[in-house]
Amino acid sequence: MENPSTNHLPASAAECESIASVRTRGPHSLAAHVRNGFKILTEYDLPHPDANTMKHVVEASLAARHLFFATSLYEPSDLDLFGVFQDFVLRCVKPLASDVL
C-alpha cells in the first residue's frame, strides 16, 4: 500500500475515506470522536453544543485533518493527529480560541 502522505490530494469522497481509515490508526468510531470532542470542551470549561452539532463539528474536524495530513510530507504522530482535532473542535466552539489554547 502506498503511503497516503506522499500521494496527491484525494480526488473523491471514497478516496478521502480510504485515507481516513489509514490515518485514524484503529477502530475509532464516530461516537468515540464525539465523546472526545465533548471531553475536550469539558477540559477547557467551554459550553457544549447539542449532540448533533458536535457530530457535525467532529465530522468536519476529521475531514480537515485527513486532507491536511494527506498532503503532508511526513507521517503524523498520534499527537499530531490529536492536536489538529483538538484545535479544530475548540475553534468551532469558540472562534479565536487563542486565549484558551
Look at residue 15 and tell me if it is in a domain.
Answer: no
Locate cell 470542551: which residue? 41
Look at residue 47 and tell me if it is in a domain.
Answer: yes
Please give the tally of structural domains in the chain.
1
* The pLDDT of residue 34 is above 50: yes
Average pLDDT over residues 20-44: 77
Better-scored residue on pLDDT, 13 or 76: 76
Look at residue 76 and tell me if it is in a domain.
Answer: yes
- Of 3-7, 20-24, 39-43, 81-85, where does mean pLDDT reach its minimum? 3-7
Look at residue 5 and tell me if it is in a domain.
Answer: no
d(CA 8, CA 1): 14
In a 13 Å sphere around the CA of 27, the CA atoms on its Cβ side amount to 0
| pLDDT band of 95, cuts 50, 70, 90 | low
Own/partner long-range contacts of 85-91 (Cβ < 8 Å, ≥24 apart): 85/33, 85/36, 85/61, 86/40, 88/57, 88/60, 88/61, 88/64, 89/37, 89/40, 89/41, 89/57, 89/58, 89/61, 90/40, 90/41, 90/44, 90/46
Per-residue pLDDT, 26: 47
| Domain with 42 in it | 32-101
User: How confident is the model over 39-89, as pLDDT tens digits?
Assistant: 999 999 999 999 999 999 999 999 999 998 998 899 999 999 999 999 999
Per-residue pLDDT, 25: 45
